[in-house]
Structure 1
Amino acid sequence: MAVIANTKVLTLKEPWSGQVNSGKHQLITDKPESFGGQDQGLAPYDFICAGLISCTMITLRMYAQHKGIALGEFTVEADFKANKEGEEWIERRLHFVDSLSEELQKKVLDICSKTPVTKTLLRSLKINTQLV
């Protein structure tokens, strides 16, 4: 069994605020002011979206490099949504500065459905919690 990622959060003195450490990287997590936080960093669902779109961007760039395809500059954006019935979903949008052929557009959408984080989010994930 391989550890794919390891991240730790340390509580800060401000309510809802924490310092997230992953390897040599540090980020701040917080809640928006509308939820009583200081809005000093990403909220938990922002991290989920960030993981998804980061993986999408990296996977597309790796594919393009491997196939010798020039995708040019592009952005990936995601919204985490929920409705009153308790359904949750993510809407992901890609915008390419350069136009893509219809064939390449279809390939990009196919690749997006197969990124590692996409696949993780689409299947049920077991979470084991313990006090140490």
Structure 2
Amino acid sequence: MAMIANAKVQTLPEPWSGEIHSGKHQLMTDKPESFGGQDKGLAPYDLLCSALISCTMITLRMYAQHKGIELGEFTVEADFSANKEGQEWIDRRVSFLHPLSDELNQKVLDICQKTPVTKTLLRSVEINTTLV
């Protein structure tokens, strides 16, 4: 078993606000003002989308470097949605500054489905919680 990532959040005095530490990095988490927060940082589902799009961008760049392909500048966006029936889904969009060939477009779509975070989200993840 290998630990892949670690993060810790410390509560702040303001309701819903916290400071996340991961390695030598830190960022704020909070809820939007419409939910009683102060919108000082990313909300939990924003962090989830950020993990997915970060992994997508890195995986595509690694693939391009490995294959000697020039993808050029691109962006990845994600929206997390839910409906009244309890269904949840993420819409991910990849946009390239310069058009790619049809063949490369299809390869990009295939790679997006194989990124590590995508694969984690597509399967069940066991979450064990302990009080320490």
Amino acid at match of 1:39: D
Aligned residue type for 2:15: P
SS in 2 for 1:60: helix
Query: Are 1:127 and 2:90 counterparts?
Result: no
The whole-number CA distance in structure 1 between the counterparts of 2:18 and 2:6 is: 16
Q: Which AA in structure 1 matches 2:97?
A: V
Counterpart of 1:93 in 2: which secondary structure? strand
| Alignment-derived partner of residue 53 in structure 1 | 53
Q: What is the TM-score when the length of structure 1 is the normalising length?
A: 1.00
Measured in 1, the distance between the counterparts of 2:126 and 2:98 equals: 40
Give the Cα separation in 2 of the matches to 1:104 and 1:3: 33
CA distance in 2, matches of 1:63, 1:74: 14
Distance 2:33 2:26 in 1: 21
- Residue 108 of structure 2: aligned partner: 108
**What does residue 26 of structure 1 align with?**
26
2:104 and 2:131 map into 1 onto residues whose CA distance is 48
The residue number in structure 2 matching 1:10 is 10
Deviation for aligned residue 1:57: 0.1
Amino acid at match of 2:28: I
Q: How far 1:88 moved relative to its partner?
A: 0.3
Q: Secondary structure at the match of 1:41?
A: coil
What is the letter of the counterpart of residue 113 of structure 1?
Q
Percentage of matched positions with identical amino acids: 78
Superposed structure 1 runs of 4+ greater than 2 Å apart? none
Distance 1:56 1:111 in 2: 8
Aligned mates of 1:97, 1:21 — CA distance in 2: 33
Q: Which runs of 5+ in 1 are unaligned?
A: none
RMSD in angstroms over aligned alpha carbons? Answer: 0.3
Tell me how many residue pairs correspond in the alignment.
132
Residue 75 (structure 2) aligns with: 75
One-letter amino acid of the structure 1 residue matched with residue 127 of structure 2: I
Q: CA deviation at 1:54?
A: 0.1
